[in-house]
């Protein structure tokens, strides 16, 4: 035996008159629906579904929801626009434009920080890659958009707010209370060490600075303008 069983009927049975009317099958289907309705009404608390949005599930503290940008005590963003999260993002949904921060105690800061939520896969790689503990995720999963532009979250929508944290709570983040790890120190709290003033003295005295050896390598090679410039004429 080949092991193949032919389950097809060579002589299919003809439908009866009532079966051709579909009335018995419709009544049977309505009976099943009514039976489930009565059972659910009599056992309302035992239903496996929840009454959303009045009732919401309590997700874990590591849930990967909407992103937030953490802030310092003075209200400025912790992000220094190092592009680490943008490079680590597998969906390439993060766009950063860096700018020079007016405070010397800080490094760069993001002039533009956009996340396309429709492309984001909520993997948390951006949180893991951030060296400044500047981006976390919340348990906020209620994100609906009518247009593509609404799905792009900028700094004003990503900045952490107490109202959002109170409503949804923190989600995936690199440091959790009681896990024995220490978040990186904030650069704004570190003292700014002044220089020795040697370079300023050389500028005041008009002493030419020593030209550093540029060394080998393609990055230190002369530019095309330098190569094409005419040499000294004698």
Is residue 108 domain-shared with residue 44, that is, in the same domain? no
Residues in contact with 71: Cβ distance below 8 Å, sequence separation at least 6, in sequence order? 77, 78, 159, 160
Is residue 25 domain-shared with residue 87, that is, in the same domain? no
- φ, ψ at 22 (rounded to 5°): 65, 10
Instruction: Write out the residue range of the structural domain in which residue 35 sits.
Output: 17-49
Mean pLDDT score across all residues of the chain: 81
Is residue 34 domain-shared with residue 114, that is, in the same domain? no
Residue 137: beta bridge partners?
Answer: 67
Is residue 106 domain-shared with residue 168, that is, in the same domain? yes
pLDDT tens string 98-122 = 998 877 777 789 999 999 999 999 9
CB half-sphere exposure, 180, CA atoms < 13 A: 0
In the block, residue with structure tokens 């609906």: 144
The reported pLDDT for the residue numbered 70 is 94
Using left for φ > 0, alpha for ψ between -120 and 50, and beta otherwise, residue 190 falls in beta
Is residue 140 domain-shared with residue 77, that is, in the same domain? yes
The reported pLDDT for the residue numbered 182 is 73
Does residue 43 fall inside a structural domain? Answer: yes
The reported pLDDT for the residue numbered 202 is 67
Last residue of a domain, one of 163, 187, 211: 187
Number of domains into which the chain is organized? 2
The reported pLDDT for the residue numbered 152 is 95
Query: Residues of the chain whose pLDDT is less than 50?
Result: 218-219
Does residue 74 fall inside a structural domain? Answer: yes
Q: Cα separation of 120 and 139, whole Å?
A: 15
The reported pLDDT for the residue numbered 73 is 85
The reported pLDDT for the residue numbered 75 is 86
The reported pLDDT for the residue numbered 46 is 82
Alpha helix (H) ranges present in the chain? 17-21, 23-42, 84-88, 125-129, 155-158, 162-168, 198-204, 224-228
Is residue 139 domain-shared with residue 41, that is, in the same domain? no
The reported pLDDT for the residue numbered 63 is 94
CB half-sphere exposure, 139, CA atoms < 13 A: 15
CATH of the domain at 107: 3.30.70.3270
Does residue 57 fall inside a structural domain? Answer: no
The reported pLDDT for the residue numbered 232 is 59
């Amino acid at each position: 035996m080949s092991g193949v069983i032919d389950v097809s009927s060579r002589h299919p049975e003809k439908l009866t008159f009532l079966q051709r009317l579909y009335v018995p099958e419709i009544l049977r289907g309505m009976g099943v629906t009514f039976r489930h309705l009565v059972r659910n009404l009599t056992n309302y608390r035992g239903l496996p579904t929840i009454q959303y949005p009045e009732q919401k599930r309590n997700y874990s503290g590591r849930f990967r929801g909407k992103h937030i940008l953490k802030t310092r005590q003075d209200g400025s963003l912790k992000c220094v626009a190092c592009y680490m999260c943008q490079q680590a993002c597998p969906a390439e949904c993060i766009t950063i434009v860096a700018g020079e921060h007016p405070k010397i105690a800080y490094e760069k800061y993001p002039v533009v920080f956009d996340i396309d939520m429709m492309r984001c896969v909520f993997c948390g790689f951006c949180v893991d890659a951030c060296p400044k503990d500047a981006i976390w995720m919340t348990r906020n999963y209620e994100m609906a958009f009518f247009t593509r532009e609404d799905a792009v979250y900028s700094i004003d929508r990503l900045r952490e707010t107490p109202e959002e944290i109170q409503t949804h709570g923190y989600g995936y983040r690199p440091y959790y209370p009681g896990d024995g790890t220490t978040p990186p120190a904030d650069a704004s709290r570190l003292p700014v060490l002044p220089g020795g003033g040697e370079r300023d003295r050389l500028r005041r005295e008009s002493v030419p600075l020593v030209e550093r050896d540029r060394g080998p390598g393609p990055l230190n090679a002369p530019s095309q303008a330098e190569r094409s410039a005419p040499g000294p004429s004698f």
